[in-house]
Amino acid sequence: MNSFGSLLRLHIFGESHGHGVGVTLDGVPCGIALTEADFQEDLSRRQGGNQPGTTPRREADLPQFYSGLFNGMTTGAPLTIFFQNDNVRSDTYEAQRAIPRPGHADFVAHHKFGGYEDYRGGGHFSGRLTVGIVAAGVVAKKILPGISIRATLIELGGQATIDAGLAFAKAQGDSVGGIVECRVGGLPIGLGEPFWDSLESLLAHAAFSIPAVKGIEFGAGFAAARMLGSEHNDALESASGHTATNHAGGIVGGLSNGNELVFRIAVKPTSSTPKQQNSLNIQSGEIESFAVKGRHDLAIALRVPPVLEAMTALVLADVHLLNRAR
Amino acid sequence: MNSFGSLLRLHIFGESHGHGVGVTLDGVPCGIALTEADFQEDLSRRQGGNQPGTTPRREADLPQFYSGLFNGMTTGAPLTIFFQNDNVRSDTYEAQRAIPRPGHADFVAHHKFGGYEDYRGGGHFSGRLTVGIVAAGVVAKKILPGISIRATLIELGGQATIDAGLAFAKAQGDSVGGIVECRVGGLPIGLGEPFWDSLESLLAHAAFSIPAVKGIEFGAGFAAARMLGSEHNDALESASGHTATNHAGGIVGGLSNGNELVFRIAVKPTSSTPKQQNSLNIQSGEIESFAVKGRHDLAIALRVPPVLEAMTALVLADVHLLNRAR
Amino acid sequence: MNSFGSLLRLHIFGESHGHGVGVTLDGVPCGIALTEADFQEDLSRRQGGNQPGTTPRREADLPQFYSGLFNGMTTGAPLTIFFQNDNVRSDTYEAQRAIPRPGHADFVAHHKFGGYEDYRGGGHFSGRLTVGIVAAGVVAKKILPGISIRATLIELGGQATIDAGLAFAKAQGDSVGGIVECRVGGLPIGLGEPFWDSLESLLAHAAFSIPAVKGIEFGAGFAAARMLGSEHNDALESASGHTATNHAGGIVGGLSNGNELVFRIAVKPTSSTPKQQNSLNIQSGEIESFAVKGRHDLAIALRVPPVLEAMTALVLADVHLLNRAR
Amino acid sequence: MNSFGSLLRLHIFGESHGHGVGVTLDGVPCGIALTEADFQEDLSRRQGGNQPGTTPRREADLPQFYSGLFNGMTTGAPLTIFFQNDNVRSDTYEAQRAIPRPGHADFVAHHKFGGYEDYRGGGHFSGRLTVGIVAAGVVAKKILPGISIRATLIELGGQATIDAGLAFAKAQGDSVGGIVECRVGGLPIGLGEPFWDSLESLLAHAAFSIPAVKGIEFGAGFAAARMLGSEHNDALESASGHTATNHAGGIVGGLSNGNELVFRIAVKPTSSTPKQQNSLNIQSGEIESFAVKGRHDLAIALRVPPVLEAMTALVLADVHLLNRAR
């Protein structure tokens, strides 16, 4: 289903090339001031066309508030934010439909929805829906006073800097992936639950809802599997929970432990590479060579940081509200 | 909260050193034959004391069926399975309580539950609760005919074989971590949903509910972030979904794509290392050096494979039932 | 929260005098044909201004499909339907704000949302939101082939006919209530669950979500409390579940039993009566006499039948999908 | 499914003639003192055999705490309470199986669970499961300081007193039904939500989960449908929400309004009447006349009040915790 969260609950809807995409955020506390300007920075960071390596498709990405806002303040009722699709070119998709694009959801969506899926630009599977998620994240951040959330692209195309990664992609004439790290400061001790609603479970659940994410690790992560126990354990140094090291990434027993929350996600290379590729023509049954047309990102990873921040903010605001209930 | 799943829903309860641990599995289809013997293999794989490197604490781990089973068949009513705790030594925990054990939930649990938590052996945070999860997994596997689920420890203490990993741990006099890989064959196309209920989201959510897991990756995973798009894309070769490569690990757009499902998790070294460690004495406010007492695993990773299989089976059985509803 | 349902899940949003009201219906099977015309009958039955005794406020009530529909067919993605508010007069509400209208949510909403609530015309508490619910019900009915759902106003202002009830209301110069009965034919045996998800629980939950409903009874209902067991029991007559009588209203043990589903709801008189009333001026602290202004229904019960049908269809479509999963 | 509640979540399991029945209550705040004695009064009120007109089946009904309690205090972990079935006679049920008892779930359960259901004494559909619900209610009441909840049987067999109702039943040689009223004092303003999670919706959902309940009404209830608007409206008299009358039963717009919460439920006569009845023998296809054997209540309504209190407490504790989160 298309909902996430418990006390702060996000519903998403829309398609890449339909009327638009939107979100309804339920459980927003009343009395939060919201203006269009509050959304600009994060929406702009997410947007294609603003930086080298991203798609030239430019949407205005103006949030339209359909409910839940009155006199510039949240009312406590569901907050619906809609983004119209202005800049839609659908013609290429119909032509291309017989040949499912490798790495995309075309083939599985066709199977699951029996051909009724809106196949234009990925339809409901499109990364376009993350615009609404970013908007919801802006609201979620406002529910978390004193907590800073920052996601950064720390590796692109295997290179340590964005410039190097883009240069590499262009030299290869191919798309590339990257690694995004998220750091959260100011968290209190005790957010999250043991087992199912561990912070790692909730954050991973949300992070893998971002298209193209294929891995996540907290603190030392995969490297922890090669450490010794005495080396990995973070020694408690103060009653505020501060530890000498932070191999746990700020989470122990599924709960925030008072240290910085640190995790990283792996973003696969954009599926729509400029290179020629093979795929099956499901009408003819023949393997065909083709190149994906349309306007695409050379590295979708460039646009992921604000989406990951939004996902993180949604999870943290939710567990923050839950903690208040106890 | 202590529940997971949608149509097949697992509730867990119990403590490490209390009366016992148990599960209630709701939504089990009626008419599934279940005997104690069905549980033996997976429970035994999970159990300490059966293999080198695991705790000498031995529980009988006899599943007691409290509800939902009649004449040896599931009835469709909630299935409750309880495991008594027989082999409980609690005295050391009281003494040790002032000094939260590094890597354990002691400190955060104390904060969250104000000192009311059952602190003996980790209480409700203990890996002991995974015995019930494994039992639930045995039932879930029976809901998935024709689907094979197999998790294997593919790396221990940075070594490629278990023997080498244990030898390394013993030589170091320390605990070690490991990497567990899970492979699932026979999945149909189209399980999972776009975004929130992507197979990756659900599996990651479940996997991070296993204590000590700090990372997960699907298919090429973190390595995908360093691949080129043309290299990472799996070319479709047949109408059954078979692809030439499987860098996606069997999931595209959040949905199973007809190939083998492949993912790996990183397990941190057992927090209870034999080595001396420092921690804060929260009563005296002094840093103290101490060694964790009690019976512990040198490598908890050794016991994780059947737990990961259970988690995987629970997720897959749930989405399988969901798909049947559509 | 503003969501209802399990496999077919409805989210509602919007305000009486804001931009509009809408619904997102998640879990709609793909391949259902939908045109604007499909919605006309039920929307028109719900609408004010079409029948004597209802508000002269006339909205066009044109459903706008924002997502989930492609080439006139449902895609399986969330279906969002929006209704713009055209005919909004808000000025009276600001003036009246100091004096909470008796029977309305004004006072409690003000308390709960600290004055941030959209108070115009009841805001998010308004019956206006039922337009979206009726639209969702149209879709739900299409998921229930062979099942007929019909709600009828069987009593108005204590009179057996609508004409008599309206005549009575006009003679009194006051608003009146009524009783709506819903009958469902064609249900299979076994929908619903014991205890929490009994059909009565689910239908009552949904029915009380309709503003102004204050009672519900199934089959013989309150009269059953005065019957003898031998009199109330419905004797089974055929293997298809047919019973000689239907005092149970088609539900036994929480499950549909193969007979007609019959239940009734009590609708209170419209709170906005033309009569002078007293209320507290919460600014001055004085009791004041006043008359509610604005355009209102003499009997909101007149507009309830299509809403109750929609609620019933939503519940039944949900349990129908659940049954398919088993 | 067998769960109810959002932040305070109750799971039930067990069968009438199996090992026992139990509950897991999740979300219980830590630090609540609980002893066996706390449960005695409500369990005893629910129990058969303590009053004229109830079944002579006597269970010890001793709550066994399986998890979530440590040193006599709740820990914040799931609280599991189990009640063993001691006093089980199953032989009659096997013999009677071919003839579904009128008014019971036998026939529908058989259909839904394909013959795998535990049919002894109603199995999982049995009122026996309410013992666990009453126990959970005892805990829920402790989460609601300053709030009094009292349910009373106000009508039995159509008579105003219990004695008269029992005398009537005995004179008729038949079972009877009754009406139970619940009154709650001390509620703050603003519990509940508009629409789906209205207090009426939640309370009705819970009340209809009690076996044998066929109607519910709040405040004036069905009588409201025959009142005039000016008569039904409760005029606000003070800033604390106090109204001159309480026809709304303490709920307006789905929210508590600061007045006493008042509602009534209709309980049908016990299905197992001493009278001869007809039913279909589903093996022979013949209509047969028979009398229900076993030990049964002449008026199940006698035992309902503590169950209704428990249900009410569970709902109110849940919305109380939700309100704290906002």
The arithmetic mean of pLDDT across residues D224-239, rounded, is: 97
Amino acid C319: pLDDT? 98
Contact D324 A325 (CB under 8 A): yes
Other C-beta atoms closer than 10 Å to the C-beta of B245 total 15
Please report residues of B whose CB lies closer than 8 A to that of A221. Answer: 214-215, 266
% of residues, chain A, pLDDT over 70:
97
> Can you give the pLDDT at residue A147?
98
Residue B293 has pLDDT above 80, yes or no: no
Distance from CA of C280 to the nearest CA of D (A): 6
User: Alpha-carbon torsion A162, A168, A171, A173, what sign?
Assistant: negative
Percent of chain A with pLDDT over 90: 87
Asked if B1 and D5 count as a contact pair (C-beta separation under 8 A), the reply is no
Q: Is the pLDDT of residue A50 over 70?
A: no
- Asked if the Cβ–Cβ distance from A67 to C13 is below 8 Å, we say yes
Q: Is the pLDDT of residue A238 over 70?
A: yes
pLDDT at A45 over 90: yes
| The pLDDT of residue A275 | 93
Distance CA B172, CA B274 (A): 10
pLDDT at A202 over 70: yes
In this prediction, residue C66 has a pLDDT band, given cuts at 50, 70 and 90, of very high
Q: What pLDDT was estimated at residue A297?
A: 85
pLDDT of the residue at B50: 67
Does residue D247 register a pLDDT over 70?
yes
How many C-alpha atoms does C281 have within 13 Å on its Cβ side?
A: 10
Of B76, B77, B325, the CB nearest to C322: B325
Partners for B (CB, 8 Å, 3+ pairs)? A, C, D
- Residue A6 tokens read as 């418990």
| Residue carrying the six token digits 């990925």 | A122
- Residue D37, judged by CB atoms within 10 A of its CB (0-12, 13-18, 19+), counts as exposed
Is the CB of residue A46 less than 8 Å away from at least one CB of chain B? no
DSSP state of A164: H
Q: Residue D31's CB: how many other CB atoms inside 10 A?
A: 13
Q: How confident is the model at residue D58 (pLDDT cuts 50, 70, 90)?
A: low
Residues from chain A that touch C123, judged by Cβ atoms under 8 A, are: 70, 75, 77
Per domain, the residue ranges of chain B are 3-325
CA-closest candidate to residue D191, choices D313, D28, D17, D11: D313
For residue B313, give Cα distances in angstroms to A202, B35, B187, B307, D59.
Answer: 19, 19, 11, 10, 39
Confidence at residue C94, expressed as pLDDT on a 0 to 100 scale = 78
User: Across the interface, do A67 and C1 touch by the CB < 8 Å criterion?
Assistant: no
Tell me which chain D residues have a C-beta less than 8 angstroms from the C-beta of C103.
229, 232-234, 248, 252
Q: Which two structure tokens, joined as six digits, stand for C285?
A: 């602290």
Max mean pLDDT among A241-250, B51-60, C57-66 falls in A241-250
Interface of B with A in 265-284 (CB under 8 A): 266-273, 275, 277-280, 282
- Based on C-alpha coordinates, what's the Rg of chain D? 21
ipTM over 0.90: yes
CA distance linking residue A113 with residue A105, whole number of Å: 11
Alpha-carbon distance of C11 to C132, in angstroms, equals 10
Average pLDDT over residues D10-33: 97
Burial level of D160, CB count in 10 A (0-12/13-18/19+)? exposed
A164 touches chain D (CB under 8 A): no
pLDDT over 70 percentage in chain C: 97
What is the spatial distance between Cα A199 and Cα A192, in angstroms, rounded to a whole number?
Answer: 5
Residues 181-220 of B with CB under 8 A from C: 194
Q: Does B318 touch chain D (CB under 8 A)?
A: no
At residue D50 the predicted structure's pLDDT band, cuts being 50, 70 and 90, is low
Mean pLDDT for B14-42 is 97
Position D86 scores a pLDDT of 86
Interface residue B77 vs chain D (CB under 8 A) = yes
d(CA B35, CA B19): 23
Q: How far is D28 from chain A (nearest CA, A)?
A: 9
Does any CB of chain D come closer than 8 Å to the CB of residue B113? yes
* D221 touches A: beta carbon within 8 Å: no
C245-259 pLDDT tens trace: 999 999 999 999 999
Which of A150-164, D114-128, D163-177, D278-292 has the least mean pLDDT?
D278-292
Contacts of A252 in chain B (CB under 8 A): 103-105, 107-108
pLDDT at C326: 81
Q: Quick check: B236 and A208 CB within 8 A?
A: no
Which residues in chain B touch residue C7, judged by CB atoms under 8 angstroms apart? 7, 322, 325
For chain D, where are the alpha helices, taking DSSP H only?
36-46, 91-96, 106-112, 130-142, 162-172, 199-207, 229-232, 304-325
pLDDT score of C283 more than 80? yes
| Residue in this structure with the two tokens 């495991």, named with its chain if needed | B83
pTM: 0.97
Whole-angstrom distance, CA of residue C122 vs CA of residue C130: 13
Option in D6, D194, D324 nearest A324 (CB):
D324
Q: Using 50, 70 and 90 to split pLDDT, how confident is the model at D262?
A: very high
Q: Kindly state the average pLDDT of the residues C156-179.
A: 97
Average of per-residue pLDDT across C223-238: 97
What is the average pLDDT score of chain B?
94
Q: Which of C22, C65, C70 comes nearest A66 by C-beta?
A: C22
Closest C-alpha to B84, from D67, A228, C164: D67
Q: How far apart are CA B70 and CA D119, in angstroms?
A: 9
What is the per-residue pLDDT for A203?
Answer: 98
Angstrom distances, CA of residue A38 to CA of A63, A77, A138, A271, B263: 10, 19, 7, 32, 39
B154 φ/ψ angles, rounded to the nearest 5 degrees: -100, -5
B108 touches chain D (CB under 8 A): no
Please tell me the total number of residues recorded for chain B in this structure.
326
Average pLDDT over residues B60-69: 95
B29 touches chain C (CB under 8 A): yes
> Please, what is the angle between helix C130-142 and helix C304-325, to 10°?
40
B18 Cβ under 8 Å from any chain D Cβ: yes
For residue B325, which residues of chain C lie inside 8 Å, CB to CB?
Answer: 7, 321-322, 324-325
Per-residue pLDDT tens digits for A137-178: 999 999 998 999 999 999 999 999 999 999 999 999 999 999
Contacts within 8 Å (CB) and 24+ apart, D248-251: D248/C103, D248/C214, D248/D218, D248/D219, D248/D220, D249/C214, D249/D218, D249/D219, D249/D220, D249/D221, D250/D184, D250/D187, D250/D218, D250/D219, D251/D192, D251/D198, D251/D199, D251/D200, D251/D218, D251/D219
| More reliable by pLDDT, B139 or A278 | B139
pLDDT at residue number C295: 67
Is the CB of residue D142 less than 8 Å from the CB of residue D285? no
Q: Do C124 and A24 touch (CB under 8 A)?
A: no
Tell me what pLDDT residue D294 has.
67
Is the CB of residue A130 less than 8 Å away from at least one CB of chain B? no
Minimum distance, in Å, between the CA of residue A202 and any CA atom of chain B:
6
Instruction: Tell me which of B6, B8, B11 to substitute to probe the interface with D (most D C-beta atoms closer than 10 Å).
Output: B11
Residue D243: pLDDT over 90: yes
pLDDT at D295: 67
Q: Are strands D148-156 and D69-70 parallel, antiparallel or unpaired?
A: unpaired
Mean pLDDT, to the nearest integer, of D2-27? 97
Burial bucket for residue A210 (CB in 10 Å: 0-12, 13-18, 19+)? buried
Q: A66–C13: do the CB atoms touch at under 8 Å? A: yes
CATH number of A3-325, picked from 2.60.40.60, 3.60.150.10, 3.40.50.880, 3.40.1280.10:
3.60.150.10
Q: Residues A68-124: pLDDT tens digits? A: 999 999 999 999 999 999 877 777 777 788 999 999 999 999 999 999 999 999 999
Tell me the pLDDT of chain C averaged across its residues. Answer: 94
D169: distance to nearest CA of chain C, Å? Answer: 8
Distance between D184 CA and the closest CA of chain A, angstroms = 22
- Residue that the structure tokens 């899970």 belong to: B182
Nearest CA in chain D to C197: D1
Contact: D321, A321; criterion CB under 8 Å: no
List the structure tokens of B129.
Answer: 């609760």
CB contact under 8 A, B277 and A233: yes
Residue written as tokens 């009410």? D312
Q: Does D42 touch chain C (CB under 8 A)?
A: no
pLDDT over threshold 70, residue A57 = no
Which of helix, strand or coil describes residue B195?
helix
Token digits of residue D245 = 């009358």
Closest approach of C285 to chain D, Cα-based (Å) = 8
| % of chain D exceeding 90 in pLDDT | 87
CB contact under 8 A, A102 and B267: no
Please provide the average confidence, as pLDDT, over all residues in chain A. 94
The shortest CB-CB distance from D326 to any of A29, A77, A194 is to A29
| CA-closest candidate to residue C18, choices C107, C78, C93, C97 | C93
Contact residues, chain A, for C132 at CB < 8 Å? none
Q: How far is CA A264 from the centre of its chain?
A: 12
Distance (Å, whole) CA A247 – CA A228: 12
Point out the least confidently predicted range of B150-154, C278-282, D42-46.
C278-282
B78/D2 touch (CB, cutoff 8 Å), yes or no: yes
- Give residue B113's region: left, alpha or beta (phi > 0; psi -120 to 50): alpha
Count other Cβ atoms within 10 Å, centred on residue A19: 18
For the cut 90, the answer to whether the pLDDT of residue C291 exceeds it is no
Per-residue pLDDT at D157 exceeds 80: yes
Residues of C in contact with D255 (CB under 8 A): 105, 108-109, 112
Contact D257, D250 (CB under 8 A): yes
Tell me, what's the pLDDT at C290?
A: 85
Tell me what the mean pLDDT of segment B193-210 comes to: 98
- Percent of chain B scored above 70 by pLDDT? 97
The values of phi and psi at residue D316, to 5°, are -70, -35
Residue B89 has pLDDT above 80, yes or no: no
Is the CB of B15 less than 8 angstroms away from the CB of D77? yes
| Residue A45: how many other CB atoms lie within 10 Å | 18
> Are A225 and B190 in contact (CB < 8 Å)?
no
